[in-house]
Structure 1
Amino acid sequence: MDINTKAIKKNAFRVTKHRSKTALRVRVPGGKLPVKYFAILAKIAEEYGNGKVHVTTRQGFEIPDLDFNKMDEINKLIQPIIEGLNINQDEIGKGYSAAGTRNVTSCVGNEVCPFANYNTAKFAKRIEQAIFPNDYHVKVALTGCPNDCIKARMHDFGILGMTEPQYDKYRCVGCQACVNNCKKRATGALRFENFKVIRDHEKCIGCGECVGKCPTGAWTRSKEKYYKLAIMGRTGKKNPRLAEDFIKWVDEDSIVKIIVNTYDYIYEYIDKDAPGGKEHIGYIVDRTGYQEFKKWALKDVNLKEKAELAKNINWSGIKYK
């Protein structure tokens, strides 16, 4: 059987170690899949595969041991999941239209977690809509708070939820639970002075620990959502590193625009001779410099007054000899 491996990969099928077999990667933006779709995964795995499904690190599913000549049938079977998750598609019934831009992942978010500052899955789906399908190798992850359960700092774009805690001095009884908790768990941004709590905005990382610790509700989360956008984290064999802060106290609309703008930057500067036509964004930034990336990323972006933009970023990480 003549196999076009490039076309197979673009269609979200994997070239495996077994020459006659492939595997399908199922996207689940935000990591939340209605259980009604489990039956479809089970049907494909049992009737076309080996009866097993792998839960990937990117919160999708991989169904292995599939025959190449069954891909058209499998693409038709997977269509209800693609439509149900509102994933952009070039042609109905033909499966996924790209695989380069990876599934947008998120922690469980504020629907479940008391520490999360926003609905992570909802935001993840918005980003997915804005950037997929695309062949460029881009990884985005969203986490509800600085605990970073999704490991956002290992991604090209890591989005960490922030809140600007609102203090009601009339509800405060001076127990200092928030002050002590901030010292132990966060950055020590709170102090008790003249019978009230003072928050140091420069030290505050917007985690919201004070909100959850206050027994009288003197601290509440701000109505406006804020985020920390960390950029150019990566794993790999050359120079793995954690993402560094690009913008703090940034809004949702700006983040989406910045990520979309980055695709134009990649198109302009990607190494045309890169293996498989793929190059991690971070290596492009290393080559062009942070200032050039910043120019492209911030095109037509109107950052709000509270946003704090990094003037320069110096990444480190592990450098192999």
Structure 2
Amino acid sequence: MADVKIDLKNLKAGGFIKERGKDLFTVRLRVPGGRMSVERLSRIARVAQKYGKGFVHLSVRQSIELININFADFDAVVAELGEDQQKVASCGARVRVPTACGGCEYNPNGLVDTQQSALEVDEKLFGTVTGHHKFKVGFAGCPFDCPKSATNDVGLQGAVWPELDAEECISCGLCAKSCTEGALSMGEDGRPVFGAEKCIYCGDCIKVCPTGAWKTVKRGYSVRIGGKWGRRPLVGTLYATFLPEDRVVDFIGSVLAWYVEKAEGAGRVRIGDIILREGSDSLLDHLRKDFPEYVLDRTILPQIIDTQLPLQKQ
């Protein structure tokens, strides 16, 4: 290896991350949405046993990492993994592998097909160079938000809008009892009273109604922008509601375009920090051009999480 010059920056951009040991790397594999076939999983296990340290690491963002892979074995590892179709993940200033929960396929709380959305974003946007910093996307199927979507640069959360068919309502009160947000109560006439300002679009009232009186009239994603974790965390805030699943890629692409333009010359900076600098109206106006029916009239800035207590005077 003494005669070989290793470009660590380019290797890291391609998912090969330098470890502490000489010539040893972690190989990060793409697992969009956290789903992997058993056949591929078996192949990874064999490669990890043969070339790695005998175990794999499951990253926070649902990727699988092979540990202690020698630089000299890169070609063999990629070939035996069958990862020739860009299945190795990426690092650096580019769009990362999207994360997602199970969505509506088998989870009773799921409202949208997060797995399909994650695959589409991975196929069409993964690896897109931002020129500024990493760009993370996360999908949650419902307001429980297990994937912590609001801590992504763009976080999408499944949402439904309920509407009552009064003729089918039997005044059982189950919807009001199931609404933990207080958006539903029973009126003096024994009928549900809907407080839209408290609704978080979970659809629990629809699921619990024994007669189907509560209907889904809108379904899609609530979209939060500007989140990040790390040394200076931010929680993303709401920019759009009921974005259709088939418009997710275009919407994220529009957010990316704004970020690339506004962060020009700003160095290594995430979109949340750019919003703090530019204000939210600039991004709202940009998104409203192509998505007027989904983008909010106004929103608030990303919320800063203070991670340090002030020092006490001695």
Shorter-normalised TM-score: what interval? Answer: 0.7 to 0.9
| Count of matched residue pairs | 300
Give the letter for the 1:68 counterpart: F
Give the letter for the 2:129 counterpart: D
Give 1:86's aligned residue: none
Among 214, 224, 235, the residue aligned to 2:229: 235
Contact 1:45–1:53 under 8 Å retained in 2: yes
Higher mean alpha-carbon deviation, 204-213 vs 150-159, is at: 204-213
Contact 1:254–1:303 under 8 Å retained in 2: no
Among 113, 120, 126, the residue aligned to 1:119: 113
Q: Give deviations 1:230-265, integer Å, cap 9, x for gaps.
A: 11111111x312111111233334442231123323
Q: What's the offset of the Cα at 1:210?
A: 0.7
Instruction: Return the TM-score normalized by structure 1.
Output: 0.84
- Structure 1: 5+ residue stretches without partners: 84-88, 90-94
- Structure 2: 5+ residue stretches without partners: none
Q: Take 2:121 and 2:259, find their aligned partners in 1: how far apart are those partners?
A: 17
Give 1:22's aligned residue: 25
Q: Take 2:82 and 2:26, find their aligned partners in 1: how far apart are those partners?
A: 16
Q: Give deviations 1:23-82, integer Å, cap 9, x for gaps.
A: 1111111111111111211121011101101111111101111001111222223335x6
Where 2:229 maps in the other structure, the secondary structure is coil
Contact 1:115–1:212 under 8 Å retained in 2: no
Give 2:96's aligned residue: 102
Q: Give deviations 1:280-316, integer Å, cap 9, x for gaps.
A: 22122223332333344445x1333xx3514242233
Where 1:163 maps in the other structure, the secondary structure is strand
Structure 1 position 181 matched with structure 2 position 178: yes
Q: What's the offset of the Cα at 1:122?
A: 0.7
Q: What's the offset of the Cα at 1:212?
A: 2.3
Among 142, 146, 162, the residue aligned to 1:145: 142
Q: What's the offset of the Cα at 1:221?
A: 3.4
Q: Take 2:58 and 2:197, find their aligned partners in 1: how far apart are those partners?
A: 40
Give 2:16's aligned residue: 13
RMSD of aligned Cα (Å): 2.4
Q: Take 1:242 and 1:211, find their aligned partners in 2: how far apart are those partners?
A: 29
Give 1:92's aligned residue: none
Give 1:58's aligned residue: 61
Q: Take 2:147 and 2:100, find their aligned partners in 1: how far apart are those partners?
A: 6
Q: Take 1:298 and 1:97, find their aligned partners in 2: how far apart are those partners?
A: 32
Give 1:154's aligned residue: 151
Where 1:225 maps in the other structure, the secondary structure is strand
Contact 1:259–1:297 under 8 Å retained in 2: no
Structure 1 position 39 matched with structure 2 position 42: yes
Give the letter for the 1:11 counterpart: G
Q: What's the offset of the Cα at 1:229?
A: 0.5
Identity fraction in percent: 28
Q: What's the offset of the Cα at 1:218?
A: 2.8
Distance 1:201 1:279, change over 3 A: same
Distance 1:200 1:179, change over 3 A: same
Mapping of residues 272-287 of structure 1, within 5 Å: 272=265, 274=267, 278-287=268-277
Q: Take 1:187 and 1:158, find their aligned partners in 2: how far apart are those partners?
A: 25
Q: Take 1:97 and 1:236, find their aligned partners in 2: how far apart are those partners?
A: 20
Contact 2:101–2:140 under 8 Å retained in 1: yes
Q: Take 2:279 and 2:198, find their aligned partners in 1: how far apart are those partners?
A: 29
Q: Take 2:125 and 2:25, find their aligned partners in 1: how far apart are those partners?
A: 26
